[in-house]
Amino acid sequence: MSTTKNDIGNELSARLGLDQVAYQENLSKEELFHAAIAKDRGRVREGGPDDEQKAHATSLGVEGPLVYYSDPSCTGRPVQDTFGVAWPEFEDKLWWKPDFKRFDPDKFTALLERVAAHLNERGATLYVKDVYCGYDPEYAVPYRFVGEYATHALFAHNMFPKGIEGVEDEDGKRWLMLNVPSFRCDPERDGTASERIVALDMKNRIALVCGRADYCGVVKKSMFTVMNYLLPEMGHMGMHCSANIGEREDGAILFGLSGTGKTTLSADPARELIGDDEHAWTGNGVSNLEDGCYAKLINLDKDAEPVIAAALSMKGTIIENVPPLPGKAMEETDPQELDLFDNSVTENTRFSYPLDCNPHVAAGARGPHPETIVLLTADAFGVLPPVSVLSPKEVMYHFVSGFTAKLAGTEVGVTEPKAAFSACFGAPFMSQKPNVYASLLAKKMEENNTRCILLNTGWSGGPYGVGKRISIHDTRALLDAALRGDLHAEGAEYETHPVFNLRFPTSCPGVDPAVLNPRESWEDKAAYDEAAQKLLGMFQKNFEDGGYAELGIEPVM
């Protein structure tokens, strides 16, 4: 990508109406680091003023991380303020839901004009960062971040590929994000739910972020939602998953919600990492949409997560919403001194670092078609088999179900495990309807003779609080067997679960056969049967509520 200052100014004038602003285009990471500390201002504490310093150096200065604080009302994605612009030609294709609601096109056009006028009147300085969504030029989309905070431009630099060669018609494909924390929406005038909004305009390729929506993840997840619309339109599949490659050049994809082991299990020293979160599956194989990682920091065990621990001190990374140490200025604090167990700002403390901070990263963050797909679940009810071998119809059912279970005690009033269903293991970011992704998955699996398992990393012998978590040793052994093809090999023997109709193997190298049948691990068999029937009912209700039968998914449970 080669653009000049005039090119950028002309495009932003034509597409956004910005003609009285100044631009800082494609600054280096060092320049963005210094600009963030000097210029990024806003609210960092409840009831505080809107002109406090948002970004800070540590004792390592520019050779270390940038520490950033988002608005206290936005320490995660503002799901109730996230919309798609409901142009008539997109009305039937987009998957409307509570965390991706319709926004009136006329209201959006008027709002965009007001935001541009606000910036023009202020003579604002905007930071521009040109990156791409995707490593494969066949589908890679040019992404131009334009915003008031240098921190967000630095985040875009960390998280997205740069300099992808061979992308055709870049100007015709380019998406713009206009990110303006200083603008306050008026719900009565603008049609917004509050004073902030995240709105995606698929027709004009604009992501508009206004108000107290300055959590860094908005810069990343908004474009993932966009890509999950664009990729199926090109015949490709967007996936919320991790991916890696073995020594035999055997690819694997691991789908899973938070807490199921997606990142941990994909970080295997015997395999090369393609990525840990967002991918595309095309005719060329699997490739990462990103060039960075955005990891949770709360309660991080540095011994168990040495890659993240080391990256905390690396140049140009971003630590988000980790509190300062009492009585010590951040500028005097070594990043390794920070208390990663302190949730006084938020439970969702985060860390942005480049992909190449990980060891064993696959060249070009790309790999072959997967031999194995793993659907991860952490069943806190303790009733699903540790591993099940899925047929193509079962893959589609469990993929659109996207089941895991939240633990008792993780939310106020939750005294027993709580089922969580998220279609395609990432419903908030799936902008087309679930059957679109399920059909693509089934098609690509058939074309590439890909096998699939449901791997349960949850509990056995009873629910959470009674039973025990399935050991990481057994989980790793089951995963390794699946990756080798042992669980699908000719001659493999299975039992069929009487309640869930799932086939599970009767043996696996390195695993006690008694572990494989979940009912046998419970002392009280009647209690197991009751719990299994209860979870089955939850699956069936979710399937009915989602209208998946009408979308062509067969009810296999």
471 is catalytic: no
* d(C-alpha 5, C-alpha 108), whole Å: 28
Unique residue bearing structure tokens 């505080």: 48
Which 3 state secondary structure label does DSSP give 489? coil
Report residue 532 as tokens: 């299994």
* d(C-alpha 557, C-alpha 540), whole Å: 7
* d(C-alpha 16, C-alpha 448), whole Å: 44
Q: Helical H runs in 160-246?
A: 170-173, 187-190, 217-233
Helix, strand, coil: what percent of the chain each, to 5? Answer: 35, 25, 45
262 is catalytic: yes
Q: Show the 3-state SS of 345-391.
A: CCCCCEEEEEHHHCCCECHHHEECCEEEEEEEECCCCCCCCCEEECC
Which 3 state secondary structure label does DSSP give 234? coil
- 8-state DSSP, 470: P
- 8-state DSSP, 216: T
* d(C-alpha 33, C-alpha 350), whole Å: 18
* d(C-alpha 260, C-alpha 255), whole Å: 9
Choosing from 15, 43, 220, 221, the catalytic residue is 221
Question: What's the count of helices (H) and strands (E) in the chain, helices before strands?
Answer: 13, 30
271 is catalytic: no
277 is catalytic: yes
Choosing from 258, 344, 496, 506, the catalytic residue is 258
* d(C-alpha 309, C-alpha 301), whole Å: 8
| Strand segments (E) across 258-357 | 272-275, 278-282, 285-288, 292-296, 318-320, 350-354
Report residue 205 as tokens: 């390729």
240 is catalytic: yes
Choosing from 54, 157, 240, 497, the catalytic residue is 240
Choosing from 77, 129, 433, 503, the catalytic residue is 77
Choosing from 56, 144, 212, 350, the catalytic residue is 350
**φ/ψ of residue 342, rounded to 5:** -85, 110
Residues 6+ apart with CB under 8 A from 147: 126, 127, 153, 177, 178, 179, 180, 181, 209
Smallest CA-to-CA distance from 140 within 106, 171, 112, 164 is with 164
Cα-to-chain-centroid distance, residue 476 = 23
Report which residue type is found at 223: M
220 is catalytic: no
268 is catalytic: no
263 is catalytic: yes
Contact 75, 321 (CB under 8 A): yes
Choosing from 58, 242, 260, 263, the catalytic residue is 263
Choosing from 43, 54, 262, 503, the catalytic residue is 262
Residues 6+ apart with CB under 8 A from 375: 255, 256, 390, 395, 398, 399, 425, 452, 453, 454, 455
Q: Which residues are catalytic?
A: 77, 221, 240, 258, 262-263, 277, 350
